[in-house]
Amino acid sequence: MKQLRRLFLAAAILLMVSGAFAAEKVVVYHAGSLAAPMAKIEAMYEEANPGVDIQRESGGSAALARKITDLGGACDAFFSADYMVIEKLLRPAAADWNILFASNAIVLMYGPKSKYGEEIGAKNWTEVMLRPDVRWGHSEPDADPCGYRSLMVLQLAEKFYGNEALYERAMKHSGRGVRQKAIELVSMVESGAMDYAFEYKSVAVQHGLKYLDLPVEINLMEPSRADDYAAATVELAGKEPGKKMLVKGEPIVYGLSIPKDAPNTDGALKFVEFVLSPKGGLAVFQEMGQDIVGPKAMGAGESIPAVLKALLKN
């Protein structure tokens, strides 16, 4: 009997000790294009905070937002490749605020095995991409902002180059491939399974792949050209099943928020504070090919927690 009591006591102590040392979880959903910088930010944060376990899930921003709203995804912090995903899919029901923090550009990415890689350039890329033996692609527009931005680039290119029916021909091209997430295109281009893919410049830089810089008139990176970009439109799945929403072209700006139902709001606040720190996450983004926007509030920002508001610029 005494031995049994000792066993129970030992088990109870073990449970208490393991509970005391259990890591605090912070669940982070983020755009696939942020995978490399977020991996480094996670490592830095966990090294500085040994009791915290950052658990990241990477994917298309729109798909992850719908996981929160439609599937009950328990997310503490959300980082989107398009700040409008937060505006249109999360606010006001699932999130109170939206902070803009980084920008990017769409490029045409290619690799060492890409057909005609030695001859493609700013003047002939549309012709090369649409050759019968070329395979090219983009991510799924309904799941990933890079997907609908890729379609917008093609629409803008049709007008910019005076290339009649370019968009229609591209959509019907037999070599066109669509993948759920833009990050999936990287391995395909690396292996030669796909010759070219529309991707964020930062992703091409991070993976050491070649890329063609597209004219500023069509690459969605220049804030002063917002009115010109708005000429491109794509119809996407809406907030509710069966509904549609029309998305206009805009400069590429990333946004972040903490959902209202976040299981660990305090942990999320501390992590986001680190991400928005000039010597923390913002330095990592810049190092990996992304320019910083602000950080600044979308709209008045009256609901943004004070600890984060102190890091924002007007």
Taking alpha carbons only, the member of 139, 8, 86 closest to residue 297 is 86
Q: CATH number of the domain at 2-103+252-309, out of 2.60.40.10, 1.10.630.10, 3.40.50.620, 3.40.190.10?
A: 3.40.190.10
| C-alpha to C-alpha distance for 177 and 283, rounded to whole angstroms | 34
pLDDT at 128: 98
* CA nearest neighbour of 86 among 31, 9, 15: 31
Domain with CATH 3.40.190.10 in the chain: 2-103+252-309, 106-235
- Secondary structure of residue 99 in the 3-state scheme: strand
Taking the model in full, what pTM does it have?
0.79
User: Is the previous residue joined to 50 through a cis bond, with omega within 30 degrees of 0?
Assistant: no
State how far the Cα of 280 lies from the Cα of 294, in Å rounded to an integer. Answer: 15
Q: Is the pLDDT of residue 78 over 60?
A: yes
Q: In the structure encoding, which two tokens stand for residue 18, read together?
A: 């393991």
Cα 101 from Cα 30, distance rounded (Å): 13
When the pLDDT of each residue in the chain is averaged and rounded to a whole number, the result is 91
CA-based torsion, 8, 13, 16, 17: positive or negative: negative
Distance, in Å, from the CA atom of 5 to the CA atom of 108, rounded to the nearest integer, reads 69
Return left, alpha or beta for 208; rule: phi > 0 is left, psi -120 to 50 is alpha, else beta: left
d(CA 284, CA 306) in angstroms, rounded, equals 24
Give tens-digit pLDDT for 238-297: 777 778 889 999 999 999 999 999 999 999 999 999 999 999 999 999 998 888 999 999
Residue 17 confidence (pLDDT) above 70: no
From the list 127, 67, 94, 112, the residue with the least C-alpha distance to 211 is: 112
Q: Predicted confidence band at 15 (pLDDT cuts at 50, 70, 90)?
A: very low
Res 132 pLDDT > 80: yes
- Helix, strand, or coil (residue 53): strand
For the stretch 55-64, pLDDT in tens is 999 998 999 9
> Hey, what are 79's tokens?
């980082």
Question: Could you tell me the fold of the domain covering 106-235?
Answer: D-Maltodextrin-Binding Protein; domain 2 (3.40.190)
